[in-house]
Amino acid sequence: MKNLKKILVCKIALLMVLILLGPASFSAQAQVDEIRIADGKGDWGYPNPYRHYPRGPGYVRMSWVFDTLVWKDEKGYTPALAKSWTYNPDTLSFTFELNESVKWHDGNPFSSSDVVFTVEYFKKHPYKWVPMGDVSGAEAVGPNKVIIRLTKPYAPFLAYVGGVMPILPKHIWQNVKDPKKYNDPKCFIGTGPYKFVDFNKAKGTYLYEAFENYYQGKPLANRLIYIKAGKPLMTLSTGKVDLANIKPDMAETLKKKGMIILKNARGWNKKLMINHKIAPFNDKRFRQALAHAINQQEIINKAHRGFGYPASFGLLSPDHEFYNPNTPTYAPDPAKARQILESLGYMKDPQGYYSKDGQPLKVEVLSSNITVAGESVADRDGEVIKRQLEAAGIRVDLLHLEQATTDAKVKKWDFNLAISGHGGLLGDARILNRMINPKVTGSVNSARFGANKKLLKLLKDQVAQMDVEKRKAIVFRIQEIYADEVPAISLYYPASMAAYNPKKGINWYYTKGGIGLGIPISQNKMSLVK
């Protein structure tokens, strides 16, 4: 009888515990009917490698459908189509052991020949997200093993190829001559956790359905829907969406409504581009004077209500594992800026502005509304920077331009100073090459600075250095030189946040190093798997 009582008490206690914890613990892995994600812009192109827009959200739309050899989650690299991988320095090759149970969305089995085909296809028809210049080829060693060979040591291989390259089905793409014009429904067949169902261009909506036979298990939501909605506070509060990027000042309100707030690491920077090809900006000392004239914290306080962090002058984020804490810095000091300008021969006029040889020192600043995660923001940085430069004796013409116009002018070097921005500061250190190397032609965020030969050599060396510690040392030195040269000024990292409704039981997160090439968006497909 006593035992029966004990058992009864235990059962009741257990029941109580289950009732209290039950909803949370069970719902964490429960199957949900659908997940809705809001996006301010809506359309990011069709989700296949050749037809998505070349910005981060376009890649993310594609990543639900197409899997890569390896992937990243909140902790770093994780197996995907490849179960494991090794690097052989003698043969300059990566060997990938592939998962045996992978199927394409049309039911065909996946094999190493698809990987070999993809490598060859991307070499022939470049997919701009995956630079294949350092890949010499691929070879299938049995159905589930593939070797990818390099032309030379290439440290960012996993970050730029293995972890980014969507694998295409050979049986579908082998006869496609022009991938940009290929718009058969089969062009959306991948191995990813979701099958593409619809994209409405006018409404900016996407519909995906869970792939039942996904090799990592059926995804947690049966349907995944993207909707276009520029007001995350309203759409999240009213339950119309489950996940959205938010502005930092919405966080408290949404937290009170039961939402979980995600804060991203500092991976996206607003940057002041400098036209260092023309005088007076081609003089390092002048650029250093500009750096002293600018007060990063004041921009954050006045233009962003304090939501942001001053940026490193060495470009890499302080949250990056290769960040050099001894990177030179420029204290906000208008007096010091004036002192440098006077040492360069500038004379102060009665109004406090400088001129040289009878020519007033006047610069044009282009501003734009670019911000993190493909969203746009009202630009107020330009106003603050104008005041700061004027306080240092530099006259400023501030031009507010639409983004594409600013980009076009920067690209053609038709500017003095321009406010721009980019992410990727938490991903592989190859970002330094992309943002400094003068050979980069397509980007308007790159400083394209070739005046310091030592810097260029170090950039070349760091991507070829496979030893992590040696590479880190090179990257440290790059940051020091970059900060000393100031070919562009990183201004601040805006506070980047997302919010989600925990009721669906999905745990969203920001990916370590960002999705793919470093996309700072909290929509990692692994959140809906496992």
Partner 1 sequence: MNANSIHFTPRRLGLIITFSLAALAMIYLSYSLPRLLPGDFVTAMYASSPVTLSAEQEAELRAFYTQPPDFYNYLVKLVKFDWGYSYAFLTPVSALFLEALPWTLLLLGTAHIISISIGFIAGVEASWRQDSRIEKGFVGGMTLLEGIPEISTGVILLVIFALNLQWFPAAGAETAYAKVSFWAWVADVCHHLALPLATLVLAYIPGNFLLARNSMIMVIKAPFITTARAKGLPSRRIRYAHAARNALLPLVTRFGLRLAFMITGVLVVERIHSYPGLGTLLFNAIQARDLPVIQAVVLISSLMVLAIILALELVYRIIDPRIEYER
Answer yes or no: are the C-beta atoms of 284 and 482 closer than 8 Å. no
- Cβ neighbors of 91 (< 8 A, separation 6 or more) are 149
Cα Rg of the chain, angstroms? 26
- Tell me the site size for partner 1, rule CB under 8 A: 67
Give the separation between CA 80 and CA 67, rounded to whole angstroms.
Answer: 7
- Cβ neighbors of 445 (< 8 A, separation 6 or more) are 271, 273, 420, 421, 422, 435
Residue 283's identity, in one-letter code, is D
Which one, 89 or 442, has the nearer CB to partner 1?
A: 442
- Residue 43 binding partner 1, by CB under 8 A: yes
- Residue 377 binding partner 1, by CB under 8 A: no
Contact residue for partner 1 among 46, 66, 194, 449 (CB under 8 A): 46
- Residue 441 binding partner 1, by CB under 8 A: yes
> Whole-number minimum distance, CB 365 to partner 1, in Å?
17
Which one, 42 or 393, has the nearer CB to partner 1?
A: 42
Indicate the SS3 state at residue 59: helix
Give the separation between CA 270 and CA 371, rounded to whole angstroms.
Answer: 8
- Residue 485 binding partner 1, by CB under 8 A: no
- Residue 378 binding partner 1, by CB under 8 A: no
> Whole-number minimum distance, CB 228 to partner 1, in Å?
5
Which one, 146 or 519, has the nearer CB to partner 1?
A: 519
Which one, 32 or 207, has the nearer CB to partner 1?
A: 207
- Residue 230 binding partner 1, by CB under 8 A: yes
Binders of partner 1 in range 510-529 (CB under 8 A): 516-519
Contact residue for partner 1 among 35, 45, 146, 417 (CB under 8 A): 45
Answer yes or no: are the C-beta atoms of 68 and 55 closer than 8 Å. no
> Whole-number minimum distance, CB 433 to partner 1, in Å?
8
Instruction: Could you list the beta-strand ranges (E) of 55-132.
Output: 70-73, 76-79, 82-88, 93-98
Which one, 207 or 473, has the nearer CB to partner 1?
A: 207
- Residue 379 binding partner 1, by CB under 8 A: no
Print the binding letters for residues 146-185 with partner 1: x by CB under 8 A, - otherwise: ----------------------------------xx-x--
- Cβ neighbors of 431 (< 8 A, separation 6 or more) are 315, 316, 424, 425, 518
The strand pairing partners of 242, in sequence order, are none
Which one, 71 or 129, has the nearer CB to partner 1?
A: 129
H-run or E-run covering 53: none
With vertex at residue 471, the alpha carbon angle to CA 465 and CA 476, rounded to the nearest 5 degrees, is 145
Query: Which DSSP category does 158 fall into?
Result: I
Answer yes or no: are the C-beta atoms of 369 and 40 closer than 8 Å. no
Cβ neighbour number for residue 137 with a 10 Å cutoff = 15
How far from chain centre, in Å, is Cα 263?
A: 14
Backbone φ and ψ of 459, nearest 5°: -65, -40
> Whole-number minimum distance, CB 425 to partner 1, in Å?
11
- Residue 370 binding partner 1, by CB under 8 A: yes
Which one, 361 or 366, has the nearer CB to partner 1?
A: 366
Give the separation between CA 57 and CA 53, rounded to whole angstroms.
Answer: 8
- Residue 237 binding partner 1, by CB under 8 A: yes
Binders of partner 1 in range 200-219 (CB under 8 A): 200-205, 207
Strand order in the sheet with 269-274: 308-310, 488-494, 269-274, 417-422, 362-367, 395-400
- Residue 284 binding partner 1, by CB under 8 A: no
Answer yes or no: are the C-beta atoms of 273 and 415 closer than 8 Å. yes
Query: Which DSSP category does 196 fall into?
Result: E
Q: Which of 500, 499, 522, 502 is nearest to 511 (CA)?
A: 522
Give the separation between CA 69 and CA 197, rounded to whole angstroms.
Answer: 24
Print the binding letters for residues 401-420 with partner 1: x by CB under 8 A, - otherwise: -xxxx-xxxxx--------x
Q: Which stretch binds partner 1 (CB under 8 A): 47-55, 284-292, 332-340, 500-508?
A: 47-55
Residue whose entry in the numeric block shows the structure tokens 């997940």: 35
Which one, 291 or 429, has the nearer CB to partner 1?
A: 429
Which one, 155 or 293, has the nearer CB to partner 1?
A: 155
H-run or E-run covering 243: strand 243-246
Contact residue for partner 1 among 103, 171, 231, 395 (CB under 8 A): 231
**Cis bond leading into 325, ω under 30°?**
no
Return the C-alpha torsion angle 353, 356, 358, 362, nearest 10.
-50
> Whole-number minimum distance, CB 423 to partner 1, in Å?
7
> Whole-number minimum distance, CB 414 to partner 1, in Å?
9
Answer yes or no: are the C-beta atoms of 417 and 275 closer than 8 Å. yes
Which one, 228 or 477, has the nearer CB to partner 1?
A: 228
- Residue 21 binding partner 1, by CB under 8 A: no
Record the tokens describing residue 528, joined without a space.
Answer: 């809906």
Binders of partner 1 in range 49-78 (CB under 8 A): 51, 53-56, 59
Which one, 181 or 453, has the nearer CB to partner 1?
A: 181
- Residue 442 binding partner 1, by CB under 8 A: yes
- Residue 438 binding partner 1, by CB under 8 A: no
- Residue 131 binding partner 1, by CB under 8 A: yes
Which one, 268 or 281, has the nearer CB to partner 1?
A: 268
**Which parts of 224-308 fold into alpha helices (H)?**
232-237, 251-256, 284-293, 296-304
> Whole-number minimum distance, CB 421 to partner 1, in Å?
8
Which one, 61 or 434, has the nearer CB to partner 1?
A: 434
- Residue 450 binding partner 1, by CB under 8 A: no
The site for partner 1 (CB under 8 A) is made up of 36, 41-43, 45-46, 51, 53-56, 59, 126, 128-129, 131, 180-181, 183, 198, 200-205, 207, 223, 225, 227-231, 233-235, 237-238, 240, 370, 402-405, 407-411, 420-424, 434, 439-445, 516-519
